[in-house]
Amino acid sequence: MDKGHKANERKEILAKLNEIHDLYCEGCFLKATFRKEFGKTYAQSFCINQCTIGEMIKRYGEKLTGVSRT
């Protein structure tokens, strides 16, 4: 895979991650409630480990780590 293709794939993944975050995470009631009641760390842990959107974001993150910057 050449550098240009890797860069394009990386940009596409980052764009998708931003889209998912903007669509589902911004203004999320659960995230806001958990952050207020239990703190930022708990809310982040919930999002990463229990939320279906967080699981989707993790999968894209795994793809992203497979696409190196070089």
In this prediction, residue 55 carries a pLDDT of 94
In this prediction, residue 11 carries a pLDDT of 95
Q: CA-to-CA distance for 52 and 54, rounded, in angstroms?
A: 5
In this prediction, residue 19 carries a pLDDT of 97
In this prediction, residue 1 carries a pLDDT of 57
Write the pLDDT tens digit of every residue in 15-55.
Answer: 999 999 999 999 999 999 999 999 999 999 999 999 999 99
Whether 13 and 67 have beta carbons less than 8 Å apart is answered as yes
In this prediction, residue 49 carries a pLDDT of 93
Q: For the chain, give the longest Cα–Cα distance.
A: 48
Q: CA-to-CA distance for 23 and 9, rounded, in angstroms?
A: 21
Per-residue pLDDT at 70 exceeds 60: no
**Alpha helix ranges (H) inside the chain:** 3-20, 29-38, 40-49, 52-66
